[in-house]
């Protein structure tokens, strides 16, 4: 009886561990390889260029 209970607990823990690893791996993959994230990074880079150009233009008008 004790042996059956231990095997059941080990199998249950193995299934929980496997599911946790699978969901974590899927979440990390979606976080780092998502096309929407890449698109957002491009938008942020473009906004940074526009912002820096605006700051340069503003500083040139202040310096005159």
Domain positions in the chain are 1-33, 35-64
pTM higher than 0.85 for the full model? Answer: no
Contacts 24+ apart (CB under 8 A), 31-36: none
| CA distances for 23 relative to 8, 18, 20, 27, 53, angstroms | 23, 9, 5, 6, 43
Average pLDDT of every residue of the chain: 76
Q: What is the pLDDT of residues 17-47, one digit of tens each?
A: 999 898 888 877 776 666 666 667 677 777 7
Q: What is the crossing angle of helices 2-33 and 35-63, to 10°?
A: 40
Distance (Å, whole) CA 62 – CA 64: 6
More confident call, 54 vs 13: 13
């Amino acid at each position: 009886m004790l042996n059956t209970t231990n095997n059941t607990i080990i199998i249950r823990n193995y299934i929980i561990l496997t599911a946790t690893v699978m969901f974590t791996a899927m979440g990390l993959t979606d976080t780092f390889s998502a096309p929407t994230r890449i698109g957002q990074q491009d938008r942020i880079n473009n906004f940074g260029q526009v912002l820096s150009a605006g700051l340069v233009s503003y500083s040139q008008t202040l310096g005159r």
